[in-house]
Amino acid sequence: MKKLAIVATISAAIIGLSACSKADPEVVVEMDQGNITKEEFYEELKAASGESVLHSLVYASILEDKYEVDDEQVDEQVNAMRDQYGEQFEMVLQQYGFASEDDYRATLRLHLLEQQAVTEDIEVSDDEIQLRYDRLFKEIEASHILVTDEDLANDLYDQLMDGADFGDLASEHSRDPGSAADNGSLGYFTAGDMVKEFEDVAYELAVDEISKPVESTHGWHIIKVTDIRDTEREIGSFEDMKAQLRTEIALPKVDETVAMTKMQSLLEGANIKVNIKEFEDLFTFEDIPELDQ
């Protein structure tokens, strides 16, 4: 199965609440029914979103001080999402709570920084990175049958070896509704799009070859490769992509508890003191927000 590509929203928007001050009577809205001051605006924002905004601002400051994300990395993911949704791109951003593309980019950048933080201690070999890079130059078209029971998977494999039609068995038995409706077809994918166990097998198959059942976190797959083609999009140099590929490989290896501990240690090391009474205990490290991976 393809991994989810949508980045979860860390906060609905990062708004500069600190720029507002109770001592500042500046009017931000004028109307016949009465003016709205910056103080009133600040208090409403603080009550509605203050905690999440402060979390985002603090996380961003700490992570940007220690890690770095290239603009090209952000552009690549934004462009991929734009290509996927076409004219619906702006509408999809709004559905996921982003006020604008800039808001999405800011959240995406923070998400990439978090990924660097939680993966920097994960061991990834140079051979793993080289293999991921080499695979990027090929795209695989494949179909699969996904079941949850190993015995059923073996039985279906035997039927296929006896000449059963792959599409018919996928439509009848596969637990992946999206591909089952299309005779098991997954379309084209490249390195990093699938879970490791699936990818490793698919990239070793020849066209029209069928794999023995392979287990992943989703269940048992039987894979049939239907086409192999050169990747059309431009691939950067190995050195330019090495850090990004390392992070991508490391992410599935991250233990959630370890990731939470990592983020807690970064917060504790920042000597945070909140001077807004309502949020004085916001960073007491007893309830660190869960990271989306």
The pLDDT confidence band at residue 49, using thresholds 50, 70 and 90, is confident
pLDDT for res 154: 98
The pLDDT confidence band at residue 5, using thresholds 50, 70 and 90, is very low
pLDDT for res 146: 98
pLDDT for res 83: 87
pLDDT for res 283: 83
Q: Are 170 and 184 in contact (CB under 8 A)?
A: yes
Alpha helices in the chain (DSSP H): 38-66, 71-85, 89-95, 101-119, 126-135, 150-161, 166-173, 177-180, 196-202, 238-250, 256-268
Averaged pLDDT, 152-172: 98
Count the Cβ atoms, other than its own, within 10 Å of residue 158.
10
- The class (CATH top level) of 128-230 is alpha beta
Q: Are 64 and 113 in contact (CB under 8 A)?
A: yes
pLDDT for res 256: 87
Contacts 24+ apart (CB under 8 A), 158-163: 160/210, 160/222, 161/210
Per cent of the chain over pLDDT 90 is 52
pLDDT for res 118: 92
The pLDDT confidence band at residue 285, using thresholds 50, 70 and 90, is low
Averaged pLDDT, 108-134: 93
pLDDT higher than threshold 70 for residue 293 = no
pLDDT higher than threshold 50 for residue 289 = no
pTM here is 0.71
Give buried/exposed letters for 78-96 (b at 16+ CB in 10 A, else e). Answer: beebbeeeeeebeebbeee
pLDDT higher than threshold 70 for residue 8 = no
Phi-psi category of residue 192: left, alpha or beta, with phi > 0 → left and psi -120 to 50 → alpha: left
The residue extents of the domains of the chain are 17-122+254-279, 128-230
DSSP reduced 3-state for 154: helix
Q: What share of the chain is helix, strand, coil (3-state, %, to 5)?
A: 50, 15, 35
pLDDT for res 53: 84
- Tally of CA atoms within 13 A in the half-sphere of 172 that contains its CB: 9
pLDDT for res 97: 86
List beta partners, residue 101: none
pLDDT higher than threshold 60 for residue 227 = yes
End-to-end CA distance of the chain: give it in Å, rounded: 16
Averaged pLDDT, 213-232: 97
Q: What whole-number distance in Å separates Cα of residue 159 and Cα of residue 166? A: 9
The pLDDT confidence band at residue 286, using thresholds 50, 70 and 90, is low
Quote the tokens at residue 19. Answer: 């720029």
Q: What whole-number distance in Å separates Cα of residue 37 and Cα of residue 27? A: 4
pLDDT higher than threshold 80 for residue 127 = yes
